[in-house]
Chains A and B, each alone.
Chain A
Amino acid sequence: MSEPLLSVDKLEVVYQRAITAVQGITLSAQQGQIVGILGTNGAGKTTLLRAISGFHGTDDARVTEGTIRFKGRRIENIEPHRIARSGIALVPEREKVFPNLTVAENLLVPAAPGLVLAERKRQEAQVLQFFPKLEELHARTAGLLSGGERQMLAIAAALVAKPELLLVDELSLGLAPVVVEDLAARLVQIRRELGITVLLVEQSAAVALEIADYSYVLENGRIVLDGDRARLTNHPDIQEFYLGQSSGKRRSYRDVKQYRRSRRWYG
């Protein structure tokens, strides 16, 4: 295989010089892939994305071990705006749009500096073809949008910067299943038409496994399982603990304990 677009090697992240949130994660994303990161609350998913997109002074977090390479260049502990300009765009979990700015202004902020108006308009139009609804909401203040519209705007604003790697933190969080279905389909369409690589962090395994080519399962800051769609959807532990499909007969307590023990061998 050729060199991956993004490769994370034995990454360790420490908050406030004391709390280790991610310990020794190794993963990679090939050009044009959709890569899923599954895991429960506190597994370290968001920390992983934040480490890739760059920590801010007030985060009080640092990559203490390991490397992150993007297009072969090391990017750990670099200021977020530099990482953003190198071609990585993040759709954050919470503060994802500027609430007091209009939709149009939100789309204007990330555009590369020094672009002529026509070029910028063309880029914006290209992004808006995926989200025609935003066109109607152009003059609306972003704080007044619904959750789904806000997510669309966040993705659109990330795309305006013409990234090669799109990081999406919790596509489905707080949204109705129909909306999530729609957004997931758009993401697949975006990948197909723009050829960008997507790293998708999800609590909902069903959503991630449906669109991701390859997925990693994170628990307690470590990768405990990884594989392509077929392997993970058929994996008994994933079916049991992430998809909630029990295989008919109820599992005994001993099996669960066995699962917990087996997880420790990864990492």
Chain B
Amino acid sequence: MLAAIYALIACGYVLVYRVSRVLNLAHGELMMLGAYALMLTAAQFTTYWPAAIAAAVGLSLLTGVLVYLFLMRKMTGEMVLAAVLTTVALGILLRGVMVLVWSAQQQYPAQALGVANTSIALPGGARISFFSALLILTTLLVYGALLSFLRFGRWGIRMRAAGQSPLLAAQRGINLHAVYALAWGLSTLTGALAGILIALDSGLDQTMAIIGLKAFPAALVGGLDSLVGALAGSLIVASAEVLLIHYVDPLLSEVVPFLVLIAMLVVRPWGLFGTREELDRV
């Protein structure tokens, strides 16, 4: 379950990094924004909750594209560090705005939508809540879709090309801005999906951005430019977290992902599935 959350968030980091070499440190906040967008759309589509989710996800896709067009586009040609710092600033700004608009109180979009989070019995006596199950399913679907899109899709191949050599891609007639905007849009979309499903499962407040931050080690452990790596990294980080919480101390929960991250950076800085050469450029 935790692994699915991390994986769904981590693929957003990977998408943006792979295409533009920029670490989007505002990903957690963008994901939270997606969840709050659901509060907005919930008021519009009270009768049919999947429509509300779809609308919120659509809004998030748009948000990602707009973030690129109005903010990150200005950073092309600048240093990568400058772009990363811009995302940090964006994150802080978004968090502030979200507190102003929606207050720091915990909210329950599931109630607003009138959906009960029933629990489903699994074989073997375990139980899983409906939205947790939905989240795991979504993660699998998103990964399947992204992998085949990057492998076979026209725009997927373009994204890979642009990630490898932006200059050559431009000379071959690829509009880099369109590709980057698409990467940001997809990244925000997947993040928002995660944010929405978490909010539906366990409520929504300002601490959600921390989950986003905790997924970052998962992406890095797997190798920042690899989707498969993000999946593996999420499994590793999540199992480490669950085991340590269970056997050592529940308070460790916030710390574990970063412990794993540090251990990984010492042993294999480019991650499990990442390319070595990618990091040399940073």
Question: CB of A35 within 8 A of chain B?
Answer: no
Contact A56 B167 (CB under 8 A): yes
Inter-subunit contact B161/A109 (CB<8 Å): yes
B164 and A100 within 8 A (CB): yes
Question: Which chain A residues numbered 40 to 61 have a C-beta less than 8 Å away from chain B?
Answer: 53-54, 56-60
**Interface-side segment among A91-99, A170-178, A188-196:** A91-99
Do A98 and B77 touch across chains, with their CB atoms under 8 A apart?
no
Question: Which residues from chain B contact A56 at a C-beta distance below 8 Å?
Answer: 77, 166-167, 170
- In the complex, which residue of chain B has the Cβ closest to the Cβ of A157? B172
For the complex, give the distance between the alpha carbons of A181 and B203 in Å. Answer: 70
8 Å CB interface, B55-82 against A = 76-77
Task: Indicate which residue in B157, B165, B173, B176 contacts A95 across the interface (CB closer than 8 Å).
Answer: B165
Residues of A within 8 A of B154 (CB): 108, 113
Which of A20-28, A80-88, A208-216, A245-253 binds B?
Answer: A80-88
List the B side residues contacting A109 at CB < 8 Å.
157-158, 161, 169, 172, 174
The answer to whether A92 touches B168, judged by C-beta atoms less than 8 angstroms apart, is yes
The reply to whether B172 and A110 contact each other, CB–CB distance below 8 Å, is yes
Q: How far is the CA of A53 from the CA of B171 in the complex (A)?
A: 7
Chain B residues near A100 (CB-CB < 8 A) = 160, 164
Provided the pairs A105-B157, A109-B161 are in contact, do residues A58 and B171 lie with their beta carbons within 8 angstroms?
no
Please give me the residue from chain A that is nearest to B173 by CB atom.
A84
B170 contacts which of A80, A98, A108, A157 (Cβ < 8 Å)? A80
| Residue B47 at the chain A interface, CB threshold 8 Å | no
Do the beta carbons of A54 and B165 come within 8 Å of each other?
no
Judge if A224 is at the interface, Cβ distance under 8 Å.
no
> Does B175 make an interface contact (CB < 8 A)?
yes
- What size tier do the contact residues of chain A reach? 20 to 34
Residues of B within 8 A of A95 (CB): 165, 167-168
- In the assembled complex, A225 has its CB within 8 A of some CB on chain B: no
Task: Determine the chain A residues whose CB is within 8 A of the CB of B160 once the complex forms.
Answer: 98, 100-101, 105
> A161 within 8 Å of B by Cβ?
yes
Given A57-B76, A101-B157, A105-B157, is A110 in contact with B173 using a C-beta cutoff of 8 Å?
Answer: yes
Question: A157 to chain B: which residues have CB within 8 Å?
Answer: 172
Nearest Cβ in chain B — how far from A112, in angstroms?
Answer: 8
Are A81 and B76 in contact (CB-based, < 8 A)? no
- Write out, one digit per residue, whether chain A residues 109-123 have a CB within 8 A of any chain B CB (1) or not (0): 110110000000000
Per the bound structure, the CA–CA distance linking A90 and B166 in Å amounts to 14
Shortest Cβ distance from B88 into chain A, in angstroms?
A: 22
CA distance A60 to B170 in the complex (A): 15
- Are A80 and B171 in touch, CB under 8 angstroms? yes
Chain A residues whose CB sits within 8 angstroms of the CB of B77 once the complex forms: 56-58, 60
CA distance A201 to B168 in the complex (A): 18
Q: Which of A59, A85, A98, A161 contacts B168 (CB 8 A)?
A: A98
What is the CA–CA distance of A95 and B172 in the complex, to the nearest angstrom? 12
In the bound assembly, the distance between CA atoms of A89 and B176 in angstroms comes to 17
**Given the contacts A105-B157, A108-B157, A113-B154, A85 and B165 also touching, CB distance less than 8 Å:** no
Distance between B227 CB and nearest chain A CB, rounded to angstroms: 14
B86: min CB distance to chain A, Å: 15
A240 sits at the interface (CB 8 A): no
Q: How far is the CA of A54 from the CA of B76 in the complex (A)?
A: 16
Q: Are B167 and A58 in contact (CB under 8 A)?
A: yes
Chain B minimum-CB-distance residue to A110: B172
Nearest residue (CB) in B for A114 is B154
Asked whether B164 lies within 8 Å of A161 as measured between CB atoms, the reply is: no
A90 to B170, CA, bound (A): 11
A-side contacts of B158, CB under 8 Å: 109
Does A135 sit at the interface, judged by CB under 8 A? Answer: no
**Bound complex: CA of A13 vs CA of B158, how far in Å?**
30
CA A60 to CA B172, docked complex, whole Å = 20
- Which 9 pairs between the two chains have the least Cβ-Cβ distance? A57-B77, A84-B173, A80-B170, A110-B172, A95-B165, A98-B161, A109-B161, A56-B167, A81-B175
What are 28 A-B contacts defined by CB distance under 8 Å? A53-B171, A54-B170, A54-B171, A58-B166, A81-B172, A81-B174, A84-B171, A84-B173, A85-B173, A89-B171, A89-B172, A92-B167, A92-B168, A92-B171, A95-B165, A95-B167, A95-B168, A96-B168, A98-B160, A101-B160, A101-B164, A105-B161, A108-B154, A108-B157, A109-B172, A110-B172, A113-B154, A161-B173
If A97-B168, A110-B172 are given as contacts, then 20 extra A-B residue pairs at C-beta distance below 8 Å, sorted by A number, are: A56-B77, A57-B76, A79-B170, A80-B167, A80-B171, A81-B170, A81-B172, A84-B173, A95-B165, A95-B167, A95-B168, A98-B164, A98-B169, A101-B160, A105-B160, A109-B157, A109-B161, A110-B173, A113-B154, A161-B173
